[in-house]
Structure 1
Amino acid sequence: MKSDGEIMEILEAYDSTGSYRAAAELAGCSHHTVKAHVTARAQGRPVGVPVRRDRVTDEFMDKITELVARSGGRIRADKVHERLLGLGYEGSERSTRRAVAHAKAIHERAGRRVHRPWVAEPGLWLQYDYGDGPVVGGVKTVLFIAWLAFSRFRIVIPLRDKTLASVFMVLDRTFRLIGGIPTYVLTDNEKTVTTMHIAGVPVRNRDTVSFAKYYGTTVLTCQPADPASKGGVERSVQIAKADLVPTATNLRNEYASFADLEAACQAFMSEINEKEHRVTKRCPIDLIGQEQERMHPVPDRAHTIAFGLSRKVPVNTPMVAFESGQYSVPHALLGSEV
């Protein structure tokens, strides 16, 4: 394709000679190129812009577009080619692939998700997620990472598992570390939070609902397979894993005990929360005060489910049911939760 300067020289040579071949010799190109540019100028079309030629797939583009749209942009070109052959298509599979790629590009642009800047309010949002932790004593651990959206304050706590009791225990500890309870807690659709989806609506785990009611917060879940809906904590997970999980790049030694891992997480939290954030231009530790002013106070006593399973003792019978069995408790616990 000729540059703008070369096209200018070609047209100048033609204006001087009036001959395609003579202008071609002066400009050092084919006389067909000279003719194409001169013709485009004479017809009032943009000079140097390629003219689209008819393609063998043109009369089948409506069908190709339909197949791409019905499959959500996932259909393979070879499958489209098979369908088109049954409709009398005589082109090559290469032409089909080009047409399908063009249709997929249009489909993606039409349905592309548009992100708008999220202006977070203090004390409103806490997001949390998990990352694969290091192996300590032959047992794989889990890193719990929480992130306050306004201040960018991060919490990293190691866990031995992701059972319901462990999750609620670490959330209670997180609330106490940040000095309050935010309005919303956003996380993934794990079974500890969401048991199922009915007509696209998440059904919450009843223990999670009880936990949220006790602390006066609302537990929300992101859209399935959509990490962008909690991108802040996703990035925090990457940063924490890169620093805390021993690899060849960070040269960190293996942890001798779980206590060593907890100490490393505490040191990481202190370091990252005292460092200036590139977006806010302030340290998260300096902004946490604004979050605490708007957050709810943490109850003095943790919810009992944070320590395991709980049962309500009847007011007239000192017995509790557990796994199809009846167990006696002291009569002093009548009407209380154990």
Structure 2
Amino acid sequence: MKIFEAYDLTKTMWSAAQLSGTDPKTVKRYVELRDLGLNPFERAARPKLIDPFLEKIEEWVEASKAKIRADVAHDKLTAMGYRGSPRSTRRAVNAAKTAWKAGRRRTYRPWIPEPGMWLQVDWGEGPRIAGRRTWLFCAWLAWSRFRVVLPVWDCTLGTLVSCLDSTLRRIGGAPTYVLTDNAKTVTTDHVAGIAVRHPQIVAAGRFYGCTVETCVPYDPESKGGAEATVRLAKADLVPTEANLRSEYGSFAELAAACRDWCERINNRRHRATGQIPAERLLIEQQRLHVLPAEPFALALGAERTVYDDQTISFASVRYSTPPGHVGAKVWVRVVGEELVITARTGTDLTEIARHVVSTPGSPQILDEHYPGHPQGRSIHAPKPKPRSEAEIAFLAIGPGAHRWLTEAGPAGASRIRAKMARAVELATVLGIERVDEALGLAAIAGRFADDDLPAILDHLADHQAAGEVVRVDESHSIQPGTSGWQALGR
């Protein structure tokens, strides 16, 4: 600018050079470039060996739709007499590809979501629990940015509808569209680029008042939101070396971690909107449709009622369920070789049990479903129910008295009532704690004779703590044997 200002003032090369402190030749070159309308900072292109072949490179790029590789083009040019370097060929091919793509880039209008319009869902691989694979169902309300993450064992159609029902009930309504990927549970086929929906997922969408749509491949506007939710959930919930998260001990622990994550992420200010998603959800709920009272049962399986013994019947086979579902309705479906039982827990549909599919006559009863029967259902032992004053007084001694009575009856002990009265008298004199402990030891050792209880009390009085308890056994005697005499005379 100083050179141009000096030249415009003096109109001579020498004077402009002296005023600007440059060489007159430099002033002349800059002024000539300015008069021609050129950029003085751009150097003039020098002739190159590849210049005669540029039209052929552009022809190849056009024919291959910018798919041709630079090394392939260089081999073709070498056969045509080109003697330049592969580096020059790569530069020319890249320049031709850039020019070809410049007018052919896919453009789209920015997507601005509306309240109550779009719910995006996607799947992500979850952590392994006891060596078994899990999945994370991730949902994202496009307008409020409210996220829901649910852990599941599989990605079947029934599980998809179950997760969709739980998500809709957690957000408090149904949007107009549910946008998801082209999985086989949603899209069965593509005909001329048109997705063919799964009939059951269409029926489920109609049941909830939603239209199920699938994403267009490579579309960041329709796919990016759900994929971002999957990426964030996996980064925080799946144990890796980066986040230093420990392994999960059970599926319930993973479910609790997912719920805590959703609670934390939905109450944090979103970077794009500058607002809290949980607060925006309250506004979006006014645009959501009302949900039906019951879930879509067709994809969840057959409906069953849990019996009083915590079991259901499916195909003439009894399957157990966890406590807390007696009298409730559950949904049963077969997934591979497993029977999946789904129930409503609060506002969510949750998988409560899985069994190996069995045949009639072979019920599937899990011990963990009956914590009150740790050793299974064997002989039903009745509990003492006192009716007379003497029985009430005896059982009031403590748990040792209860055990003594439950053991003495089946053992065929005689004069039980008289021994119970004697125990009450001893408890009055010696104290309830000592007599209760003696009764418990007598029950363990199987000693129900008349003098056994006083003998045990005397032993406890002489020794503060009971030693090893020896159970009465008629096949054993403390009489010394004669095996020692066999070595006499040898």
Partner of 1:95: 88
Distance 1:300 1:7, change over 3 A: same
Equivalent position amino acid for 2:238 in 1: V
Partner of 1:242: 235
Where structure 1 has 5 or more consecutive residues not aligned to the other structure, the ranges are 20-25, 311-321, 323-338
Preserved CA contact (<8 Å) 2:122 2:137: yes
Distance 1:93 1:286, change over 3 A: same
Cα separation, 2, equivalents of 1:41 and 1:120:
51
Equivalent position amino acid for 1:167 in 2: L
Partner of 2:201: 208
State the TM-score, normalized to the length of structure 1: 0.77
Partner of 1:109: 102
2:289 is equivalent to residue 302 of structure 1: no
Partner of 1:189: 182
Partner of 1:162: 155
Percent of pairs identical after alignment? 47
Partner of 1:78: 71
SS at match of 1:139: coil
The alpha carbon displacement at 1:58 in A equals: 3.7
Find the structure with the greater CA-based Rg: 2
Preserved CA contact (<8 Å) 2:111 2:221: no
Partner of 1:256: 249
Partner of 2:210: 217
SS at match of 1:250: coil
Equivalent position amino acid for 1:283 in 2: I
Cα separation, 1, equivalents of 2:200 and 2:169:
20
**Bigger RCO (CA 8 Å, 6+ sep):** 1
Equivalent position amino acid for 1:235 in 2: A
Q: Deviations over 1:183-221 (max 9, x none)?
A: 111111111111221111111122222222222211111
Preserved CA contact (<8 Å) 2:269 2:275: yes
2:114 is equivalent to residue 127 of structure 1: no
The alpha carbon displacement at 1:261 in A equals: 0.3
Preserved CA contact (<8 Å) 1:172 1:306: no
SS at match of 1:130: strand
Name which of 176, 186, 198 aligns with 2:169. Answer: 176
Partner of 1:67: 60
Higher mean alpha-carbon deviation, 268-277 vs 105-114, is at 105-114
Preserved CA contact (<8 Å) 1:189 1:224: no
The alpha carbon displacement at 1:120 in A equals: 1.1
In the comparison of the two structures, how many residue pairs are matched? 301
The alpha carbon displacement at 1:239 in A equals: 1.2
SS at match of 2:140: strand
Higher mean alpha-carbon deviation, 47-56 vs 123-132, is at 47-56
Equivalent position amino acid for 1:250 in 2: N
Q: Deviations over 1:37-73 (max 9, x none)?
A: 5764575643232112344434443432333234332
The alpha carbon displacement at 1:225 in A equals: 4.2
The alpha carbon displacement at 1:82 in A equals: 3.2
SS at match of 1:220: strand
Equivalences for residues 280-319 of structure 1 within 5 A:
280-308=273-301
The alignment's C-alpha RMSD in Å is 3.3
Q: Deviations over 1:155-205 (max 9, x none)?
A: 000111111111111111111111111111111111111122111111112
Cα separation, 1, equivalents of 2:274 and 2:165:
29
Cα separation, 2, equivalents of 1:183 and 1:53:
61
The alpha carbon displacement at 1:242 in A equals: 1.2
The alpha carbon displacement at 1:87 in A equals: 5.1
Q: Deviations over 1:69-106 (max 9, x none)?
A: 34332321112233445555554433221111001222
